[in-house]
Structure 1
Amino acid sequence: MNRGRIGLSVAVIAALLLCVVPVTVVLTDDTPAAACTATGPSPSSTSKVRAVGRWNAEQVGSAAQIVAVGRQRGVPARGWIIAVATAMVESSLRNLRGGDRDSLGLFQQRPSQGWGTPAQILDPVYASGKFYDKLLRIDGWERLPLTVAAQRVQVSAFPDRYGQYEHDAEQVVAAVAGVTTIAELPGASLATCPGGPVTVAASGWTVPLRAAVGSGYGPRAGRLHAGVDLSVPRNTIIRAASAGQVVWAGCDPSTGNCDIDGSPSTRGCGWYVDLVHAGGYGTRYCHLVRRPDVAEGDTVQAGQQIGLVGTSGHSSGPHLHFQTHQRVCSGSRCDLANANSTDPVPFMRHRSAALGERG
C-alpha cells in the first residue's frame, strides 16, 4: 500500500519543526465519564442558523428542525445524530418534493409504505416524528452502530451509506445544539474515553490510546507487519501521537467498502489516517470504525482526537494498528512505506510515551 505518498510543501514541514515544544502538558484530568459526557448548554431553537462545513444554512436549518423535534419528544441526543445522518443520506437535508418512486421529504418516506400522506411527509415536524417513532421501537438502538440503526428504520437498498455521515451529523448537531463539540451532549456519541489523563511528554509525543501491545512489529507469514496492534473496544478514541499534518484520511482503496467490518480475508487498512510530524517522522492509524475525524491538510495537535477504533479492512476484531516511520520526506514529497517503518515500541519508549500500558 503506497497511498501514503503525498506531496507536502517544504513550508509545511518547516512549520512543523517549530511545533516541538519541550513541555509536558496534561490535556485532561477528567474521569472517562466526565471527559465523554460533560454537560453542556441546552440546545436552543433560537440559535442563529449558519453553514457548517459543506452544509449550507438552509440544510443546517433542516437539521435544526429534526433536532428540535427530537428534543421536544425527549429523544436522547444519540437519536438526533442518527436522524440527521439519515436525512443527509436520503435528501442532503432538503425537503424534497420527489424522489425514488413515491419517496418524499427529508427522509424520503413513502406514502405507499404507510409513512403518511404526501402532505404529512412534506411537513418536517411530522416526518421527523415518524422517524423517531420507528427508531425508538428498536431494542437497544442507542448502542447500535449508526448505519445499523438507520437501516432498521429506513430499510434502504444501500444500507452501508449512513455511517459515512456520522461525523458530519455530529458537527451539525453540535452547532445547532449550541455546544462546541458533540462530547458536550451526553450519550450523543458512541465514543469511549480511556481512563486517566492524556499526557503529552516533554518530547511532544503521547500514546494514541492505552492498551497492551498484541501482535508486534516484524515478519508475519512472509510479509512485514509494519506496526503493532493495540486491542481495545470498538469506538475507543484514537489520538494523534504528536503534532503534525494530516496527509491522508480516508478509506484504503485496496479495502473497497470501509463501512462494513473487515475480516482476515479483506485487504488493506480500512479507514485510516497518516500524519507527518516534525523531524521527518510519520505515524499511521488503521482500521477505524468510520470516516476519520480529520481531513487531509488539517493540522493536528498531540493528543487530539483523530478517529475511533474499529475493525475495517484486514482485521479480525476491533483494534488499532499503529505504525511509526522515520525519514518519510524527501524534498516536498512524503511517503509512509514499509521501507521506512520502525518498531513503534522502542520508538515511542524513546520519546517517553511508552506503549503497552492500560489506563
Structure 2
Amino acid sequence: MTSKILSIVIAACVGAVIICTAGLGLLGGHAATCTYAGPSAAPQAWTAAGGYTADQVSAAAIIVRAGIDAGVPVRGQVIAVAVAIQESSLQNRSDGPDDSVGLFQQRPSQGWGTRDQLLDPVYASRRFYTALLAVAGWPQMPLTDAGQAVQRSAYPDAYARWEHDATKLVTTVGSSTNGVMSVNIAGCLTPCPDALNSSNAGGTPAAPSEASGACDWVAPVRAPIVSGFRTAGRPSHDGVDLAAARGTPIRVASTGTVLVVRCNVTPASHGCDQDGSPSTPGCGWYVDVLHADQIVTRYCHMLTRPSVVEGQQVLVGQVIGFVGSSGHSSGPHLHFEVHVNGDRSPVGAVDPVMFMAGRAPIGHQ
C-alpha cells in the first residue's frame, strides 16, 4: 500500500500556473507579481506527523490534492479527511464490512463505482467530493452533518471527533514546504484574491513569493465589515467583525510568532467546539500573533482549535484556522484586532481599518 499511495502522490504533483499582476497602489504604491507555480517539482517523501504514520499522511495528501484539483474549498478538504479517518483510519482497506473498500469505505453495491475504482484513492476522493458538493448548504453544516449527508454512516456522530486532527493534517500536507502544493502568492491576498481563492490555490497555507517582498501584510479574510471599532453602540469593541462564511480560511496578517492559542469562553464548561451566542462571553477559539515593531494581531471565534501552536513562527498569508462562531458570537465571522507597543490589552488596541489601510485593506468582499 505504501508504494501505491506514494506513486499516486508523485503522479498528482502536476499543476497549473496562475499569474496575476497587481496594480500600483494596492500595496502602498508598490507593484507586485504573484505567481502560483503549481505543486513542487520534487515529490514529497511523507513522514509521520501528529500521531499519524507516513502512510496515513500520504493518504491525507491524496485527499487534499484531489480536493484542490476539484476546486473544493479547504473546509471540504477537512470534512473529507475527517471522514476518511473515521471510516478507514486513512488506510486503503480492501476488507471492509459488507463490500466496503478504500479510504472512504465506499460500496460498489451502492453505486460508488467498481471495487477496483474505489481502491484507487484518487478516484475514491473525487467520488466523495462529487457527493459532498451536491449537498445543499454543506459549507455551513457542522462537519459531522456534512459527512453524514454523504456517507450515511451507522455512526453519524463519530466524524466530529476527528475535526481537529483533520484540520492539522490538511494544514500539514497543504503547506508549500511539503509536497502537495507550492503556492507562491499567499503574501498577495489583497491584490490577487481571485488567484488565491481559485481551485488551484485551495486556501492552503503557504509562504509568500520571493518576488512579492512588498506583500508584508495581507487581509486575514476577504469579507465586509459588519461591526466596527469602538462604535457608539459598542464602545468596548476593540476590533472589527468581518462577515466571512463558516469554514473560510483565516490567514495570518503578517509574519510573526504565535503568542496565544486559547479557548476563551464563560463558563469554561461550554467549550469552544460548538457555537456560542450573544450571551456567551469570550473570544472563543482565538490566536494572538506578535509581528515586527511590537504589533500584535488577534483572531477570534474560530471554528475549531487553531492549526498553530504557541511559539510557532508563521509566515504572512499562512492559514492559522477557520472562521466559526465560538464564544460571544451571533453567527460565523472573524473578529480581528490590532494592538501596538506589544500591549494586548484594550489600551493597546487601534482601529484595524485605519492600521491596515496602507498595508492590505480589509472589509472588501
TM bin (shorter chain) = 0.5 to 0.7
| CA distance in 1 between partners of 2:121 and 2:248 (Å) | 33
Matching residue of 1:320 = 334
| Aligned partner letter, 1:93 | L
Question: Is structure 2 residue 297 aligned with structure 1 residue 299?
Answer: no
Residues 112-132 of structure 1, C-alpha deviations (whole Å, 9 max, x = no match): xx889xxx89x9828987786
| Aligned partner letter, 2:277 | S
Residues 238-287 of structure 1, C-alpha deviations (whole Å, 9 max, x = no match): 44334321012354354745444443233422232111234443221112
| CA distance in 2 between partners of 1:91 and 1:126 (Å) | 14
Give the secondary-structure state (helix, strand or coil) at the position aligned to 2:147: helix
The counterpart of 2:82, out of the listed 80, 85, 104, is: 85
The counterpart of 2:300, out of the listed 286, 308, 313, is: 286
The counterpart of 1:40, out of the listed 28, 35, 38, is: 38
Question: Is structure 2 residue 278 aligned with structure 1 residue 264?
Answer: yes
| CA distance in 2 between partners of 1:188 and 1:277 (Å) | 25
Residue 320 of structure 1, CA deviation: 1.9
Question: Is structure 2 residue 199 aligned with structure 1 residue 186?
Answer: yes
**TM-score calculated relative to the size of structure 1:** 0.59
| Aligned partner letter, 2:228 | G
Alignment of 1:38-187 (within 5 A): 38=36, 40-41=38-39, 47=43, 49-51=45-47, 53-54=49-50, 55-63=52-60, 76=70, 78=72, 82-90=79-87, 92-94=89-91, 125=119, 136-138=130-132, 140-141=134-135, 144-145=138-139, 147=143, 148-154=145-151, 155=153, 156-164=156-164, 165-172=166-173, 178-180=180-182, 186=199
| Aligned partner letter, 2:282 | G
CA distance change for structure 1 residues 49 and 281 in 2, over 3 Å: closer, same or farther? closer
CA distance change for structure 1 residues 220 and 296 in 2, over 3 Å: closer, same or farther? farther
CA distance change for structure 1 residues 51 and 139 in 2, over 3 Å: closer, same or farther? closer
On the 8 A contact 2:128/2:150 being kept in 1, the answer is yes
Matching residue of 1:337 = 345
On the 8 A contact 2:167/2:307 being kept in 1, the answer is no
Question: Is structure 2 residue 260 aligned with structure 1 residue 248?
Answer: yes
| CA distance in 2 between partners of 1:27 and 1:271 (Å) | 36
On the 8 A contact 1:82/1:150 being kept in 2, the answer is yes
| CA distance in 2 between partners of 1:299 and 1:246 (Å) | 6
On the 8 A contact 1:240/1:305 being kept in 2, the answer is yes
Larger Rg: 1
Give the secondary-structure state (helix, strand or coil) at the position aligned to 1:263: coil
The counterpart of 2:324, out of the listed 310, 318, 328, is: 310
Matching residue of 1:12 = none
Matching residue of 1:231 = 243
CA distance change for structure 1 residues 61 and 185 in 2, over 3 Å: closer, same or farther? farther
Structure 2 residue runs without a partner (length 5+):
1-26, 187-195, 205-211
| CA distance in 1 between partners of 2:331 and 2:234 (Å) | 22
On the 8 A contact 1:81/1:188 being kept in 2, the answer is no
On the 8 A contact 1:65/1:125 being kept in 2, the answer is no
Give the secondary-structure state (helix, strand or coil) at the position aligned to 2:236: strand
On the 8 A contact 1:322/1:344 being kept in 2, the answer is no
| CA distance in 2 between partners of 1:304 and 1:130 (Å) | 29
**TM-score calculated relative to the size of structure 2:** 0.59
| Aligned partner letter, 1:76 | A
On the 8 A contact 2:244/2:323 being kept in 1, the answer is yes
Higher relative contact order (CA 8 A, sep 6+): 1
| CA distance in 2 between partners of 1:27 and 1:151 (Å) | 46
CA distance change for structure 1 residues 287 and 205 in 2, over 3 Å: closer, same or farther? same
Residue 163 of structure 1, CA deviation: 3.3
Structure 1 residue runs without a partner (length 5+):
1-22, 192-197, 330-335
| CA distance in 2 between partners of 1:209 and 1:29 (Å) | 20
| CA distance in 1 between partners of 2:101 and 2:300 (Å) | 37
Residues 163-208 of structure 1, C-alpha deviations (whole Å, 9 max, x = no match): 32134135336789643359799268478xxxxxx9968xx65554
| Aligned partner letter, 1:140 | A
Cα RMSD for the two superposed structures = 5.2
CA distance change for structure 1 residues 279 and 264 in 2, over 3 Å: closer, same or farther? same
CA distance change for structure 1 residues 262 and 358 in 2, over 3 Å: closer, same or farther? same
